[in-house]
Structure 1
Amino acid sequence: MTMPSPPPRRWSGALFALLLAGLVVASFASLPLHFGAFFTADALGSTAEFIAGFAPPEMASGFLMKTATATAETLAMSALGTLLALAAGLLLAIPAAGRFGRPLRGFVRAVLNVLRSIPELVWASVLLIAAGLGPFPGTLALAAHTAGVLGRLFADALENAAPLPEQSLRTNGASPMAAFFYATLPQTLPQMLSYTLYRWENNIRAAAILGVVGAGGLGQMLKFHLSLFQMQKAATVILAMLLLVALVDAISFALRRALTR
């Protein structure tokens, strides 16, 4: 009785790990990292003095109302930008998944690459020139970048969906689009919603950063007060950012948990 031959060894995983380790070592060797500079007496003293300037946060009622308005503006920017990106990403994902032929698939995927390769700050800087200061260009910047991310994720989810349910419907006389909407899309919809909620969490942070370039919201307030060295008012804005991110994270977690039940 002959013994079965052992399966062939796969060296691709080990080679990838070796290349990754080499890249990490090369990164540390090429970058001038001076970790000890963070722990010198001068650095620790300057950091403590800077942080002490933020206390206590500004709690005047008028400023709190202004901060609450900017918080609502940041939340609205992120929500509307994510909704616009959801619609655009889904429309682009269908041809990007190869539903209308490979040439169009390649073209749409190239468009998605461009959309998500340009950071939100760059999109906002370009749109601010066209639309002026305020939350509108910031919202469009979030939508443009997020549409590229969601479009790619949605397209991959559609391509990885099980083809048998759609093929069964088409065999029984359903049109291609009807089979897609009744078989493939329901399979991927929970995953798409999970991706959308995760991107909404990211867009809350991005919306706060976009205000630094004049796109409104908490970021614009933070830049204004930091530039005038009004640290206590800046501390209030930072606390509002933290509370807003925590609130959206909790809502997103609850919604994702409900979707997976």
Structure 2
Amino acid sequence: MKLYPQARLSIGRRGLAACLALLGLVLASFATLDLQWAQMFSLEAARSMGRFVAEFFPPDLSLAFVAKVAFASLETLAMSALGSLIAACAGLLLALGAARLHGQDSALARRPTRWLLNALRAVPELVWASLLLISAGLGPFAGTLALAAHTTGVLGRLFAEAIENCSEGPGFALRVQGAGNLRVFLYATLPQVLPQLISYTLYRWENNIRAAAVLGVVGAGGLGQLLGFHMGLFHMNKTATILAAMLLLVALVDLLSDRLRRALA
């Protein structure tokens, strides 16, 4: 589409105004926050951090504790995988209601379904876990449900955008032949968006493995629960082992996710 010079000037002015407004917000943030940079980078702060880091060494590599950390790592991995799978299924179902499947679709459920998705992802995983601990009790079940609830809101919105942005040509050809909405979705829409849906799900799985490692701090099981327990007792050598396990687990999931993406591509 060709733009006239006046339209280009108007767009340029709006972009400049938006950048200036964003810059103003950043400057206002620096002005209102009490950022003590001098204290943070002082010699005394460096000495305190050095003493703190030195307490982590040597890590506790006793066989009994390493076995306990390995079991907690598997629990964290299972929480993230199951939570992501539940969220992908629930997100796809909600995305159908949150998306306009074709240009003539009235999409009466689109706005309320998007409100629901906004509500699900507006609540952080830690808050979901704290709420669900009351009903589900301590342990990985509450953590899994918390990951599933938040991730459903994220994936549902991403899936809905992918469905709305796909080409309508194949679906229109099927509708002309008398196919219903379900067949159009299965044979025209889904094949187009499936690579995106899988990529989004794998990306959220990478995020959930990090979130699952933190959720245990509030009692939701996994490595986070071990971390919260031993940090509370100032067992820094055990804390170092747990942190190393978290790093290895995140690196493993990142590598596995990247390999899956390459295989699917």
Fold conserved (TM > 0.5)?
A: yes
TM-score by length of 1: 0.95
Structure 1 stretches of 5 or more lacking a match? none
TM-score by length of 2: 0.93
Letter paired with 1:98: R
Query: Deviation at 1:23?
Result: 1.3
Aligned Cα root-mean-square deviation (Å): 1.3
Query: Which sits farther off after the overlay, 36-45 or 95-104?
Result: 95-104
Rounded Cα–Cα distance in structure 2 between residues aligned with 1:230 and 1:123: 28
Q: 2:257 aligns to what?
A: 252
Q: 1:43 aligns to what?
A: 45
Letter paired with 1:36: A
Q: 1:217 aligns to what?
A: 222
1:105 has 2:107 as partner: no
Q: 1:78 aligns to what?
A: 80
| Contact in 2 for aligned 1:124/1:213 (Cα 8 Å) | yes
Query: Deviation at 1:30?
Result: 1.3
Q: 2:148 aligns to what?
A: 143
Rounded Cα–Cα distance in structure 2 between residues aligned with 1:90 and 1:167: 21
Over residues 200-223 of structure 1, what are the superposed CA-to-partner deviations in whole Å (9 max), with x where a residue is unaligned?
Answer: 001001001100000010000001
Kindly, what percent of the aligned residue pairs are identical? 59
Rounded Cα–Cα distance in structure 2 between residues aligned with 1:12 and 1:256: 38
Query: Deviation at 1:98?
Result: 3.1
Over residues 20-42 of structure 1, what are the superposed CA-to-partner deviations in whole Å (9 max), with x where a residue is unaligned?
Answer: 11111111111111111112121
Query: Deviation at 1:6?
Result: 4.2
Aligned counterpart in structure 2 of residue 93 of structure 1, from 86, 92, 95: 95
Query: Which sits farther off after the overlay, 232-241 or 167-176?
Result: 167-176
Equivalent residues in 2 for 1:198-213 (5 A)?
A: 198-213=203-218
Q: Number of aligned pairs?
A: 256
Q: 1:175 aligns to what?
A: 180
SS in 1 for 2:109: helix
Task: List structure 1 runs of 4+ shifted beyond 2 angstroms.
Answer: 5-8, 98-103, 257-260
Query: Which sits farther off after the overlay, 158-167 or 30-39?
Result: 30-39
Query: Deviation at 1:102?
Result: 3.3
